[in-house]
Amino acid sequence: MRLPPATIDPSPVDATLLWGHGQHRIDSVWTNEAGDRSFHVRGTTILVPYRELYRPYLEAAGLLSVVPLVPMNPDASLITALVERWRPETSTFHLPCGEVTITLEDVVTLSGLAIDGDAVVVDIPDEEWSAICLRLLGRVPYDLVGGVAVVRITWLRVEFSHLPDDASQEVIEQFARAYALSLIGGVLFPDRSGSTVHLQYLLLIEDWERAGGFAWGAAVLSYLYREMGRSTLHISHTGTSLAGDLGGWVLLQFWAWERFPHLAPRDSETRAQATEDAHPRGLRWLSASSRQYGDQLFQYKLWLDAMDTVVWQPYRERALHLRGSVIQSETFRAVVPLICFSSVMWHHPDRVLRQFGMRQHEPHQPHP
């Protein structure tokens, strides 16, 4: 179904800020070239089974807080409607109420992941990937040949589902590493295939203590920003139409349900009251089901175009404690680059000061 032309004009009045509008998906949506099809968004259900024996390793690596956040089912229509309003130039959603975005505050609150620490990047050793897999996982994928640096999550699940009763400490650690790799590839940094994970992430968890020093939350936000930016393009750099898959959607869906209550699942009010103190806060949405059934992209578009209710500070009454220290609001409001390997995206909380209880001034020109 085509949107009524009078709903909203997507063209910017001044193109100097939104310089990428010509390639933005909303342009083709407006002309009905993109149609009203939602992205194909895969759920998070094929991970290696978790065992309590893995807890000390995941806790040391700073990944334990996201273990309970799976499985999750995506609301593809909601996610698509939001991405159509994402502007990569400003790293914000442009809505009738103004600009809003997912900030470091949202990441640490909803996922419990660290937002300060070392950048998520690692040197690639001069070593065959097969040798790396054998050393860190104890086995090599059957289809890992040549220069291929990805492993199938289904292979991880098959190979590491059954921990031997007499497993040595080394084997337990290898199984824990396989679980962490499936968590990273299935939830934190899922690629567009939804079925593989790059082995560069395996190097991040070679040393559990070192892994605990990474700013995982900042990397997740960088990855999500990049994925949403790519998904806004209606034409790829090769001149072909983009498929419309989106990785890293879990955080986006949690964020939307927190900020826009009328878009949240029907039974969210009862559950929210019962799990107000859940940590991470994303746990309160774990058993949630979509508000709508089937493809409801058109309906979500209308709701967002008529947006008049935004919860600017959903976490205001809740003190945040992570790793024994209170995270200061200055960290949340820092204009900084977010790094995840080659992905470097800018965090622009200065454009959404209302999310921090402040008056919005005219922001500076965003970083390119």
DSSP string covering 130-143: HHHHHHHHSS--TT
Tokens in use for 25? 């998906």
Whether 246 has a pLDDT exceeding 50, the answer reads: yes
Give, for 219, the enclosing helix (H) or strand (E): helix 216-231
Nearest to 113 by CA among 258, 337, 280, 328: 280
Rounded-to-5 percentages of helix, strand, coil across the chain: 40, 10, 50
Q: Mind listing the pLDDT tens digit for each residue in 9-49? A: 656 666 667 766 666 776 666 655 555 677 777 666 678 99
Looking at residue 238, what is its pLDDT? 41
Check residues 6 and 324 and name the one with the higher pLDDT: 6
Of 58-72, 155-169, 197-211, the least confident: 58-72
The per-residue pLDDT for 326 is: 47
Dihedral through CA 248, CA 251, CA 253, CA 258, nearest 10? -170
Specify the pLDDT at position 247: 65
Checking if the pLDDT of 234 tops 80, the result is: no
pLDDT bracket for residue 363 (50, 70, 90): confident
Query: Among 55-59, 100-104, 167-171, 354-358, which stretch is predicted with the lowest mean pLDDT?
Result: 354-358
Indicate whether 320 pLDDT > 60. no
Taking 50 as the threshold, does the pLDDT of residue 245 lie above it? yes
> Please, what sign has the CA dihedral across residues 174, 177, 182, 183?
positive
Could you tell me the pLDDT band of residue 365, with boundaries at 50, 70 and 90? confident
pLDDT one-digit tens code per residue, 271-317: 554 455 667 898 888 777 555 555 688 888 888 888 878 999 998 76
Could you tell me the two tokens for 311? 């919860």
Q: CA gyration radius for the chain? A: 21
Looking at residue 45, what is its pLDDT?
61
Question: Under a CB-based contact definition with an 8 Å cutoff, are residues 264 and 273 in contact?
Answer: no
Better-scored residue on pLDDT, 5 or 46: 46
Confidence (pLDDT) at 113:
95
H or E stretch at 220: helix 216-231
Q: Is the pLDDT of residue 198 over 80?
A: yes
pTM of the model: 0.87
Q: What pLDDT is attached to residue 2?
A: 52
What's the pLDDT at 64?
96
Helices 104-111 and 249-259, interaxial angle, to 10°?
100
State yes or no: pLDDT of 177 exceeds 90. Answer: yes
* Tens of pLDDT, residues 217-233: 999 999 999 999 888 87
With cut-offs at 50, 70 and 90, classify the pLDDT of residue 244: very low
In this model, does residue 169 exceed pLDDT 50? yes
User: Residues 248-258: pLDDT tens digits?
Assistant: 788 999 999 99
Report the C-alpha gap between 212 and 203 in whole angstroms: 13
Residue type, 35: G
Measured torsion, CA atoms of residues 249, 250, 253, 255, in degrees rounded to the nearest 10: -110
Q: What is the overall mean pLDDT for the chain?
A: 82
Which tens digits make up the pLDDT trace of 200-213?
999 999 999 999 99
